[in-house]
Amino acid sequence: GAGVSQSPSNKVTEKGKDVELRCDPISGHTALYWYRQSLGQGLEFLIYFQGNSAPDKSGLPSDRFSAERTGGSVSTLTIQRTQQEDSAVYLCASSLERQTGYTFGSGTRLTVV
């Protein structure tokens, strides 16, 4: 597509429920990144995909977080048993190759109540 698309744009969920966040990167971009941004803070790296593989998952906060990417395209970030501290904006970005500018999606604002 023309840009990075994320859905949903907003998600309110009850504590303890599972959520899935979707990212559709720019066609042809092999690198895909997930970041998290809490209110008024900088970006916290979560995970990076090169193609369908994730060489580094060390940024995932806990084992409740998982992510996958299929067909070298769409990625899904899943948070199981959500907690209030998971509330944040989850940003996805893609790039044509490493060490070039990222194109970000508009993010998913997750609120856990």
Partner 1 sequence: SQQGEEDPQALSIQEGENATMNCSYKTSINNLQWYRQNSGRGLVHLILIRSNEREKHSGRLRVTLDTSKKSSSLLITASRAADTASYFCATGSNDYKLSFGAGTTVTVRA
Q: Shortest distance, CB of residue 35 to partner 1, whole angstroms?
A: 8
The CA distance from 108 to 44, in Å, is 14
- Residues whose CB is less than 8 angstroms from the CB of residue 58 and which lie 6 or more positions away in sequence, other chains included: none
Q: By CB under 8 A, is residue 48 in contact with partner 1?
A: yes
Q: Under rule CB under 8 A, how many of the chain's residues touch partner 1?
A: 27
**Pick 3 or 16: Cβ nearer partner 1:** 3
Bridge partners (DSSP) of residue 62 are: none
Position among 50, 52, 66, 87 found at the interface with partner 1 (CB under 8 A): 50
The residue within the footprint of partner 1, chosen from 23, 25, 33, 79 (CB under 8 A), is 33
| Chain Cα centroid distance, residue 59 | 11
- Which CB atom, from 33 or from 65, has the smaller least distance to partner 1? 33
Residue 42 near partner 1 by CB under 8 A: yes
CA-CA distance, 9 to 67, in Å (whole number)?
A: 18
Angle at 49 between CA 3 and CA 85, to 5 degrees: 85
106's tokens? 């508009």
| Positions that interact with partner 1 (CB under 8 A) | 4, 31, 33, 35, 37, 39, 41-43, 45, 48, 50, 55-56, 89, 91, 93, 98-107
